[in-house]
Structure 1
Amino acid sequence: MDFVKTLFSTNLLLSGATAGVVIHQVIRRAFIDLYPFTTTGSVAASHWVLLGVFYRYGEYSFWEANRRALTLVCYTLVSLAVNILVYRAFFHRLRHFPGPFGARLSKFWAVWQTVKSKARWYQVTQKLHEEYGDYVRTGPREITIGDPAAIQLVHGLKATVKKAPFYAALTDSVHTTDDPVFHKERRKIWDVAMKESLADYGPIVEEFTSILHQQLDKSLGQPVSANALTKHYSYDVISTLGFGNSTRFLEGETTDIAKKVFGAIERGVIAIGLLLHVPYLLTIMETFTYKGPMGEFNRWAANEVDRRKKVGNPRPDLLGHLLKNSTDDAVGRQLLDNEARMIIGAGSDPAASTLALLLILLAERPEYQSKLRTEVTNAFENNTYACGKQLPLLDGIINECLRLYPSVIFQNQRLTPPEGLTIGSVYIPGDTIVCLGPYQQGRDKRNFVDPDEFIPERWTTRPELILNRQGFFPFSLGYYNCVGRTVAMMELRSVIARTVKDYDISFPKGSNFDGKDFYSRIVDHFSSGVPQQNVVFTKRQS
């Protein structure tokens, strides 16, 4: 051990610098940020090992040995950090892709841009594409893509990419799993559940639309929040479809627990919108959520699963199907709890944001209310409306809203295979995170004529305004498309069709609504965050 003693006693700086170089060569292709506790534990363990070496073989006192061990660990970490930054800036396999210099060094650059833009990362990336082109380096090992040729290669059924490390930072479910085999098996269960219950879901959706109208009748001519109205509606619908138990927000009979729970959902999606750039912080948040900001939501979801198990012959709901197809053990229970949270989180906020935007868009454009009213009135049979039925203009208005303002602006992250990914003449190396989202594609001139204009007719009588139909994927594509798309469309059709038939929608007098300013303030916190806006409902005479 004389060699060890000599090495560690002569030049701690040289030893630390050398160790940093060696460690970087070992880990530089690994996603060590996915394992924050393992990484922290490794640093702590190395400190205690070095302390033992110095104390045992260096003839130092305990405190001197501790000081030297800590010094060597610090030198090593500094050396490692310098090696990482220099490599990322000048020698990384993505060094030939253009982008901001800060993005090469750390994803905290993206976090800072998200903060600066007030949670509007989608606007940041839009500007980056305008400045740097279709392929922009937005992280040390991340490329954000604007090229429409990449859509099918990244999200299509034949895509060779897989889900990126961001998803591994979240609790496992059919939506978040990065295991393609597990996803395929679990997704099959979800698809069957949706197909078998779809006929039952329609009347439930219509029932809540009727309750919504009862509430509108109590505030006719008065300003009401489009945001609160649609959130309450969406929460009531999804809690009933998912668990057979309405939250009763629309009727004003909800519990304090429900208010806390759905407040936690809103805080949670805000956190995800910020921390998706640094998924290891999401891992830490998930680990401590029992008492953290999502703790109330997690406990509520677990209690709902327990309650649902005890209910006999309830109204048709999604959780009933999942219970029949989940193992009755710790793993199965954890999966059910995770997917119960997913039902509420993914099934409520996106639909609510799109409903709010549709009401606001129609208030801004009364001429479309008149056109839509004619179509909808003709579609009613025996004074009833079937929300599963497609109507050209109605679906055109919904599609145009989703094209301009996707309910989930989040750019789905994928990981290229080890051999890399070639898109046209562009080669992206293996193990690279690639991001491609619906907002940028929906506003690309290569996909749509006048892409920034609200023109529902492009989906009906003016198909020439659609240059590339693949540029429209608000519900994602391929194997990972939204499992609840059909139900979401039922909600949107039901509320918009029946509301336009029975009410005029307008802005409060003197509100001076500025559309350009309003829509620019939509935030990206995983699902879209729509600014608060009041609207007025006036009853129409039959």
Structure 2
Amino acid sequence: MAVLQTLLSSTVTNLILSGAAAGVIIHQILRRVFIDLYPLTTVTIVIGTHWVLLSAIHRYGEYNLWEANQRAFSLVCSTLASLATNILVYRAFFHRLRNFPGPFGARLSKFWAVWQTIKSKARYYQVTQRLHQEYGDYVRTADPAAIQLVHGLKATVKKGPFYAQLTDSVHTTDDPIFHKERRKIWDFAMKESLVDYGPIVEEFTTVLHAQIDKSLGQPVSANALTKHYSYDVISTLGFGNSTRFLEGESTEVAKRVFGAIERGVVAIGLLLHVPYLLTVMETFTYHGPMGGFNLWAAEEVQRRKKVGNPRPDLLGHLLKNTKEDAIGRELLDNEARMIIGAGSDPAASSLAVLLILLAENPEYQVKLREEIDQAFENNTYACGKHLPLLDGIINESLRLYPSVIFQNQRLTPPEGLTIGSVYIPGDTIICLGPYQQGRDKRNFVDPDEFIPERWTTQPELILNRTGFFPFSLGHYNCVGKTVAMMELRSVVARTVKDYDISFPAGVKFDGKEFFSRIIDHFSTGVPRQDVVFTKRHA
């Protein structure tokens, strides 16, 4: 007690020095403890500490309330200032990664990346490309030798802290055991219903063409058309209930909800560099940036539980294989959001890019028709069927413009990871993205050029096929890849068969300039572009 009274009665200078010493100690503790998931606890500790100090100083230091508050405030602020200074000095000069090259500002804080995202207008993938050109492979991880070590089936890394900030689902969990068990359920659901999904996809392609027929010869937004298509498809495959965007009959609720998705991914795209802020937003705001979407998804789960014998859908399988308890209900709500979010935006962006690339390269429409015309039987098309040139065009589009540009975080094992001759310490976040690998000269010849033949008649243009992973690889690959390919094949094949795709008259399309404006907000944001559909006459 005497020591406490001496401290509380000491001069303000001594209190500040004590706070500085406390900051040093706290920094050493925080280097070994992960607190990012507990913002409310952290704020409570800071406020609680101030209140305890205020009470103690007022009681034992014989100061009035105002003076006690000043002294408590000085002690807390000096501790926080010391903590911040210690963190910055450590990161700048003593961090275990200090010998890796990179911008000095990036050493100090991830807010450097946030600022670069803002400056680049949400095109951080372009910032990363410039960093690799200036600093080499290991400013982020760009070495093709790392692909199998980071994303392969035998990889020893696990998901990074970004995923720890998100709600648990088969996609977002950072628990490998939970993921393995839950993924089995998803894979079985996909396999069991795949034969039913094809006809549903084709139905919506027919609806899409009905809408195209209403605006023949007129400019229409490729972006809006493909978004409405993907929303309708995934809501039906996921919940057995179409949002009916294509017919223009969607409810105001659905429009508001899907608008919230678009705004939400923008927020996520900015905050993915500082993922703990996602937790802060979830904690201190009403359900975070996608609150309306979260509530809608939960209501859809409840609606689906009451439906008897619907058309085959994914949620039906998940309901049968999820416990009816609090944890199970939360898991279903989380995965319902994942079905819509991961199943709509990426597919829509890929379809928009494909339509634009075909308009830019009409010679491939001609080449593709020869293959497609032979594939139709009784005037019907099976979207699960592989066609060499069709899949080549789709693959080349995904190589150049993957539907998710975000570099998935992985965490090296405690013993570290050696890639070639480079050793990366344990528990280090590494990022290896499909955009960078798809454009690496060590993986592809003329990597910036659209050459679908590299997937068909010119395989020598592919130097390292593992550099192509738009759906990720290994245990965490995209569970909906097969369905996504069905959508892409169906729309591209049937649309090219029935229509000529071009740009509006008078439009001088500059592909390099246009695609340089693609935005990275977790999923790929394709700039608006009008196209014109003209009925093809055989």
| TM norm structure 1 | 0.97
The SS at the match of 2:36 is helix
Map of 2:467 onto structure 1: 471
Give the Å deviation of 1:291: 5.5
Structure 1: gaps (5+ residues): 137-143
Map of 1:188 onto structure 2: 184
Map of 1:373 onto structure 2: 369
1:280-359 correspondence to structure 2 within 5 Å? 280-287=276-283, 290=286, 292-359=288-355
Map of 1:462 onto structure 2: 458
Counterpart CA distance in 2 for 1:25 and 1:285 is 27
1:373-452 correspondence to structure 2 within 5 Å? 373-452=369-448
Out of 14, 28, 33, which is 1:25 matched to?
28
Counterpart CA distance in 2 for 1:289 and 1:246 is 30
Map of 1:69 onto structure 2: 72
Counterpart CA distance in 1 for 2:512 and 2:537 is 33
Map of 1:489 onto structure 2: 485
Counterpart CA distance in 1 for 2:529 and 2:47 is 51
Map of 1:101 onto structure 2: 104
Comparing 153-162 and 404-413, the one that deviates more? 153-162
CA shift digits 1:180-235 (9 cap, x unpaired): 11111111100000000000000000000000001111100000000000000000
CA shift digits 1:15-65 (9 cap, x unpaired): 011101111111123333332222212211221222232122212222322
Counterpart CA distance in 2 for 1:109 and 1:13 is 29
Determine if contact 1:34/1:279 at 8 Å carries over to the other structure.
Answer: no
The SS at the match of 1:386 is coil
Comparing 46-55 and 126-135, the one that deviates more? 46-55
The SS at the match of 1:322 is helix
Out of 139, 142, 146, which is 1:150 matched to?
146
Determine if contact 2:40/2:283 at 8 Å carries over to the other structure.
Answer: no
Say yes or no: does 1:360 pair with 2:363: no
1:42-81 correspondence to structure 2 within 5 Å? 42-81=45-84
Determine if contact 1:170/1:286 at 8 Å carries over to the other structure.
Answer: no
Map of 1:199 onto structure 2: 195
Say yes or no: does 1:251 pair with 2:247: yes
Map of 1:125 onto structure 2: 128
CA shift digits 1:220-276 (9 cap, x unpaired): 000000000000000000000000000000001000000000000001111110000
Map of 2:211 onto structure 1: 215
Map of 1:510 onto structure 2: 506
Counterpart CA distance in 2 for 1:29 and 1:467 is 42
Distance 1:289 1:539, change over 3 A: farther
Determine if contact 1:290/1:296 at 8 Å carries over to the other structure.
Answer: no
User: Structure 1 counterpart of 2:414, which letter?
Assistant: P
CA shift digits 1:278-305 (9 cap, x unpaired): 1111112233564554121111101110
Give the Å deviation of 1:462: 0.4
Determine if contact 1:8/1:15 at 8 Å carries over to the other structure.
Answer: no
CA shift digits 1:379-403 (9 cap, x unpaired): 0011100000000000000000000
Determine if contact 2:318/2:332 at 8 Å carries over to the other structure.
Answer: yes
Determine if contact 2:267/2:289 at 8 Å carries over to the other structure.
Answer: no
Say yes or no: does 1:5 pair with 2:1: no
Say yes or no: does 1:262 pair with 2:258: yes
Give the Å deviation of 1:14: 1.0
The SS at the match of 1:33 is coil
CA shift digits 1:337-362 (9 cap, x unpaired): 11000000000000000000000000
Determine if contact 2:8/2:60 at 8 Å carries over to the other structure.
Answer: no
Q: Percent sequence identity over matched residues?
A: 83
The SS at the match of 2:322 is coil
The SS at the match of 2:469 is coil
Counterpart CA distance in 2 for 1:289 and 1:408 is 27
Give the Å deviation of 1:132: 0.1
CA shift digits 1:451-473 (9 cap, x unpaired): 00000000000000000000000
Counterpart CA distance in 2 for 1:375 and 1:173 is 40
Determine if contact 2:406/2:520 at 8 Å carries over to the other structure.
Answer: yes
Counterpart CA distance in 2 for 1:461 and 1:199 is 30
User: Structure 2 counterpart of 1:382, which letter?
Assistant: N
Counterpart CA distance in 2 for 1:276 and 1:8 is 42
Out of 84, 89, 94, which is 1:86 matched to?
89
Counterpart CA distance in 2 for 1:128 and 1:64 is 51
Moved over 6 A (4+): none
Map of 1:229 onto structure 2: 225
Counterpart CA distance in 2 for 1:226 and 1:526 is 20
Determine if contact 2:238/2:340 at 8 Å carries over to the other structure.
Answer: yes
User: Structure 2 counterpart of 1:512, which letter?
Assistant: K
The SS at the match of 1:229 is helix
CA shift digits 1:77-135 (9 cap, x unpaired): 00010000000000000000000000000000000000000000100000000000000
Determine if contact 2:16/2:78 at 8 Å carries over to the other structure.
Answer: yes
Say yes or no: does 1:533 pair with 2:536: no
Determine if contact 1:171/1:286 at 8 Å carries over to the other structure.
Answer: no
Comparing 353-362 and 157-166, the one that deviates more? 157-166
Out of 5, 15, 19, which is 1:16 matched to?
19
Determine if contact 1:34/1:165 at 8 Å carries over to the other structure.
Answer: no
Determine if contact 1:410/1:437 at 8 Å carries over to the other structure.
Answer: yes
Give the Å deviation of 1:481: 0.4
Give the Å deviation of 1:431: 1.3
Counterpart CA distance in 1 for 2:384 and 2:525 is 27
The SS at the match of 1:327 is coil
The SS at the match of 1:430 is coil
Give the Å deviation of 1:72: 0.1
Out of 147, 162, 177, which is 2:158 matched to?
162
Query: What is the RMSD computed on CA atoms of the aligned residues?
Result: 1.0
Give the Å deviation of 1:5: 1.8
Structure 2: gaps (5+ residues): none
The SS at the match of 1:34 is coil
Counterpart CA distance in 1 for 2:183 and 2:370 is 39
